[in-house]
Structure 1
Amino acid sequence: MAELIVVRHGQASFGSAQAQGYDRLSEQGEVQSRMVGATLKAAGVVPDRLITGTLERQRRTLELMGFDGTPEEHPGFNEYDFHDMLHARFDGVPPDDVVRDRKHHFRTLRDTLKDWQQGGLPGAAESWPAYSDRVEAARLHATRPGADCVVVVSSGGTIGRLVQRAMGAPDEMMITLNLQVKNTSVTRFIFNARGRFYLHEFNAAPHFFTADGARHMTYS
Structure 2
Amino acid sequence: MASLYLIRHGQASFGEPEYDRLSPKGHQQGLMLGKAWQTMAAPDLVFTGELCRHHQTYEAFNKAYRNTAHQEVTTHQLAALNEFDHIDILMQSEKQWRSYQDLVDYFSSLPDAKNNLKQVFDDAFTKWALADSTGNYQESWGVFKQRANTALQLLIEARTVEQQTILAFTSGGIIAAIVQQLLALSDQHCLTLMRQIRNTSVTKIVFSGERVSLDYFNNYQHLEQVGASWSTHR
Q: CA–CA distance in 2 between the matches of 1:141 and 1:41? A: 26
- Report the residue type matching 2:79 in the other structure: P
Q: CA–CA distance in 1 between the matches of 2:118 and 2:208? A: 36
1:167: Cα distance to partner?
A: 0.9
- Residues 19-40 of structure 1: per-residue CA shift (max 9 Å, x gap): xx11111111111101111112
Which of 98, 106, 115 is 1:103 aligned to?
115
Q: How does 1:166-205 map to 2 (within 5 A)?
A: 166-194=182-210, 196-205=211-220
Match of 2:43 in 1: 47
Match of 1:156 in 2: 172
Q: CA–CA distance in 1 between the matches of 2:175 and 2:121? A: 16
Q: How does 1:39-118 map to 2 (within 5 A)?
A: 39-42=36-39, 44-66=40-62, 68-89=72-93, 90-93=95-98, 94=103, 96-97=106-107, 101-117=113-129, 118=131
Match of 2:222 in 1: 207
Q: CA–CA distance in 1 between the matches of 2:180 and 2:19? A: 25
1:121: Cα distance to partner?
A: 6.0
Q: CA–CA distance in 1 between the matches of 2:149 and 2:19? A: 25
Residue 26 of structure 2 aligns to a residue whose secondary structure is helix
Gaps of 5+ in 1: none
Instruction: Work out the percentage of aligned pairs sharing the same amino acid.
Output: 30
Q: Is the 8 A contact 2:149 2:177 kept in 1?
A: no
Match of 1:23 in 2: 20
Q: CA–CA distance in 2 between the matches of 1:74 and 1:104? A: 33
RMSD: 2.1
- Report the residue type matching 1:219 in the other structure: H
1:80: Cα distance to partner?
A: 0.6
- Size of the aligned set, in residue pairs, is 214
Gaps of 5+ in 2: 66-71
Residue 9 of structure 2 corresponds to residue 9 of structure 1: yes
Q: What TM-score results when the alignment is normalised by the length of structure 1?
A: 0.88
Q: CA–CA distance in 1 between the matches of 2:34 and 2:171? A: 16
Q: Is the 8 A contact 1:119 1:128 kept in 2?
A: no
Q: Is the 8 A contact 2:7 2:203 kept in 1?
A: yes
Q: CA–CA distance in 1 between the matches of 2:229 and 2:142? A: 38
1:104: Cα distance to partner?
A: 3.0
| Structure with larger Rg | 2
Residue 124 of structure 1 aligns to a residue whose secondary structure is coil
- Residues 117-173 of structure 1: per-residue CA shift (max 9 Å, x gap): 244462211111221121111111111142311101111111111111111001222
Q: Is the 8 A contact 1:114 1:172 kept in 2?
A: no
Q: What TM-score results when the alignment is normalised by the length of structure 2?
A: 0.83
